[in-house]
Amino acid sequence: MFTGLVVNTLYICCLIFLPGIKTKCMIPPKAKKQTQELIIHDHKRIDPYFWLNKRENPEVLEYLKAENDYTSEMMKDTEGLQDVLFNEIVSRIKQTDMSVPYFLNGYYYYTRYEEGKEYPVYCRKQGSLDAQEEIMIDVNILAEGHDFFHVSGITVSEDNKLMAYGADTTGRRIYTIHFKNLETEQIIPGNIGGTTGMAYWANDNKTVFYTSKDPETLRPDKIFRYQPGSEEKSVLIYEEKDEIFYTFLYKSRSREYLVIGSSSTLTDEYRILKADNPFGEFSVFQKRERGVEYSIGHKGDKFYIRTNLNAKNFCLMETPVGATARDNWKIVIPHRENVLVESFLNFDHYLVVDERIDGNTNLRIIDSDKNDEHYIKFNEEVYTAWISINPDFSGKLLRIGYSSLTTPISTYEYNMKTRGMKLLKRQEIVGGHNPDDYESKRLYALAGDGKKVAISMVYKKNTPLDGSAPLLLYAYGSYGNTIDPTFGIARLSMLDRGFVYAIAHIRGGEFYGRDWYDDGKLLNKKNTFTDYIACAQYLVDQKITQTDRLMAMGGSAGGLLMGVVVNERPDLFKGVIAAVPFVDVVTTMLDDDIPLTTGEYDEWGNPNDKKYYEYILSYSPYDNVKPHDYPNMLVTAGLHDSQVQYWEPAKWVAKLRDIKTDDNLLLLYTNMDAGHGGASGRFKQHKETALEYAFLLKLVGIKN
């Protein structure tokens, strides 16, 4: 029992009625109320669960544990199904596997996995794939004794002798950088904590630069120079003092420049330094101007610039190395109203541009010598293609990635001269997978203002589209992040059980270009929610599914979407999964000590401004919980989440329990050992997937 915190967590006899299901349950945990007045703009809010934001408070941890116990009990009748789903998903994953090697600076680099092990082994071979393997890091060994472990930012010095890598042991995305001598295989003393995990080597083979995070806000704000193994301390090189910006560092693909970037939602600024001169001064490439976004790539005597300068959907420009200010920029690819320039990659004789046209990704190849160009052709209606790892400037071979809702992730080598395509590797589905057994298509719903909202959909061909099939509708809709249609190995377990899976490409992403993003943020944010509702209603109206078989899912900012949807149209959905949901929007955006808040003002608005306060308050899920019936809901959280603090979903569930008028399932599962991305490990992560799928299957009476 938890004194003063929760009541009646003992087992009692009660029944929750679902289609064909009787579930023995216990009374759910009931969080205590502790009045907290929050006043701004002469408006007062009462938050009875504000106290839950103290991670170290034993009462908070006991409450989260009680919720986990309740979820386990309510899902106890699905434990066998969860085991089946988990084993089914894991059985499809090739246990002993290897990535496609890429060649860099005299070595072939690749990642491999060993049977039964959760983590990757990072390797290389000198000069030839027939050479002896060098194991750079075996993450399985490093992860021993840790409930969570993630390695990031592996970089190697130009002489191939030294390596840096970052390790996160909590899931909070705070990395400690370690250094290793690859010749002696010894760890170099002097690791560095509190970083983003990335360290980049200068060309002297002994100096690195890295980015640290503010310990409270977790904003990457400082760049340091350091020499591993020396007695010298790190030297501060750059500090980003504007709280709406974060700073980062990388080395140019040409390996000639070290680059410091500063970015906010609307504005970018870069500084460059010759990598041969690590003790020199970084020079500003082009000073920041609010609303001007740009990114840079170096080749020879030029820099290429992707920018929105007088180009809402971005254009491509170039400038001489010695004259980088924008007055010297010249257009290479002009702005087009119907084409979004997403990224680019330059080779000695070719330029590759990733463009989004009518929702689809297109790879454009430009022959710089012949002034000739073409697009790579793909055969599927609904697909995703992207520029993969291409560290080598020379030659005519481009490595690309490709996937669709029916085609597993594939790596191709494309000859930019002959236009021939060679498959290097396709994700192997153990036990077999025939794409022809599945159908994918694109549908279009009309939003209330007449906008056409695309829906990408996949299902097994023998699944009837007469309203009888359950359907899971996924969406995100924020930060300009487009959820592209790619293959999901775990998703097969749902498709093979008769589910339809669909993605709503709602405003807030960039499916139709920058206008699609701008029309779904700030004071246009409600378009994101109404677009999703329009897509859900369309799928019901077209009799592809029914409301008693329609499921909704979104995570993080997509969890915010779920929160709004269940407040506004709970009648549309049988079940909802809100993963690490950003639901306490007003309180979070008013607290600039919470990680990442200040950098979000240009996405959501700053509620210190009354106009934005009132608008955000009008949709913030936590502030708008209503005394009505809600769908069955599974809400997830991560105790160490740095993106969405665990207390947002915890408070939301507590308030829902107190106010909602139904007896539907409301479950909160908090991963006590992980952060925003859930569990680490290639297999362990699917324990949570199995829980989510079992929840959905339970709601429609599928027991095996």
DSSP string, 186-213: EEEEEEEEEEEEEEEE-TTSS-EEEEEE
pLDDT at 23: 44
Identify whether the C-beta of residue 382 lies closer than 8 Å to the C-beta of residue 405. Answer: yes
Mean per-residue pLDDT, 124-141:
97
Which one is predicted more confidently, 393 or 22? 393
Q: Report whether pLDDT(25) > 90.
A: no
Say whether both 119 and 212 belong to one domain: no
The model's confidence at residue 642, banded by pLDDT at 50, 70 and 90, is: confident
Say whether both 209 and 80 belong to one domain: no
Kindly give, in sequence order, each residue whose CB lies less than 8 Å from that of residue 620, ignoring residues fewer than 6 positions away.
583, 584, 585, 586
Closest CA to 704 of 72, 78, 29: 78
Identify whether the C-beta of residue 564 lies closer than 8 Å to the C-beta of residue 508. Answer: no
Say whether both 273 and 288 belong to one domain: yes
Say whether both 51 and 130 belong to one domain: no
Q: Give the pLDDT confidence of 173-188 residue by residue, as tens digits.
A: 999 999 999 999 999 9
Q: State the CATH number of the domain containing residue 240.
A: 2.130.10.120
Q: Report whether pLDDT(434) > 80.
A: yes
313 in a domain, yes or no? no
| Whole-angstrom distance, CA of residue 456 vs CA of residue 479 | 20
Say whether both 516 and 598 belong to one domain: yes
656 in a domain, yes or no? yes
Closest CA to 336 of 376, 297, 368, 364: 364
Say whether both 115 and 154 belong to one domain: no
Q: Report whether pLDDT(205) > 60.
A: yes
386 in a domain, yes or no? no
The model's confidence at residue 678, banded by pLDDT at 50, 70 and 90, is: low
| 7: its two tokens | 């009541």
Mean per-residue pLDDT, 611-637:
98
490 in a domain, yes or no? yes
279 in a domain, yes or no? yes
**What SS3 class is residue 22?**
strand
Q: Kindly report the three-state secondary structure assignment for every residue of 219-255.
A: CEEEEEEECCCCCCCCEEEEECCCCCCEEEEEECCCC
Q: Report whether pLDDT(20) > 60.
A: no
| Whole-angstrom distance, CA of residue 519 vs CA of residue 523 | 9
Single out the residue in 248, 263, 292 at which a domain terminates. 292
Single out the residue in 292, 314, 334 at which a domain terminates. 292
pLDDT at 338: 96
Closest CA to 100 of 88, 110, 86, 89: 110
**How far are the Cα atoms of 222, 584, 603 from residue 216, in angstroms, in the given order?**
14, 19, 21
Say whether both 130 and 237 belong to one domain: no
Kindly give, in sequence order, each residue whose CB lies less than 8 Å from that of residue 214, ignoring residues fewer than 6 positions away.
220, 221
Identify whether the C-beta of residue 407 lies closer than 8 Å to the C-beta of residue 379. Answer: no
Kindly give, in sequence order, each residue whose CB lies less than 8 Å from that of residue 404, ignoring residues fewer than 6 positions away.
380, 382, 383, 384, 440, 485, 486, 487
| 552: its two tokens | 């909704």
**Can you say how many angstroms the Cα of residue 160 is from the centroid of all Cα atoms in its chain?**
31
Q: How many domains are there within the chain?
A: 3
Closest CA to 472 of 531, 409, 529, 535: 535
| Whole-angstrom distance, CA of residue 90 vs CA of residue 499 | 20
Mean per-residue pLDDT, 265-292:
97
Say whether both 614 and 645 belong to one domain: yes
Which one is predicted more confidently, 354 or 147? 354
Say whether both 526 and 641 belong to one domain: yes
What type of residue is 312? K
| Whole-angstrom distance, CA of residue 101 vs CA of residue 129 | 8
Active-site residue set:
556, 641, 676
668 in a domain, yes or no? yes
| Whole-angstrom distance, CA of residue 76 vs CA of residue 83 | 11
Q: Report whether pLDDT(498) > 70.
A: yes
Say whether both 572 and 459 belong to one domain: yes
**Region of poorest pLDDT, from 10-14, 160-164, 325-329, 481-485:** 10-14
Say whether both 43 and 131 belong to one domain: no
pLDDT at 10: 30
Q: State the CATH number of the domain containing residue 486.
A: 3.40.50.1820
β-bridge pairing 632-638 and 666-671: parallel
Range of the domain at 223: 146-292
Say whether both 45 and 115 belong to one domain: no
| Whole-angstrom distance, CA of residue 103 vs CA of residue 422 | 17
pLDDT at 26: 75
pLDDT at 561: 98
Single out the residue in 292, 308, 324 at which a domain terminates. 292
| 616: its two tokens | 């955000």
233 in a domain, yes or no? yes
The model's confidence at residue 684, banded by pLDDT at 50, 70 and 90, is: confident
Q: Kindly report the three-state secondary structure assignment for every residue of 549-585.
A: HEEEEEECHHHHHHHHHHHHCHHHCCEEEEECCCCCH
649 in a domain, yes or no? yes
Closest CA to 275 of 203, 223, 224, 198: 203
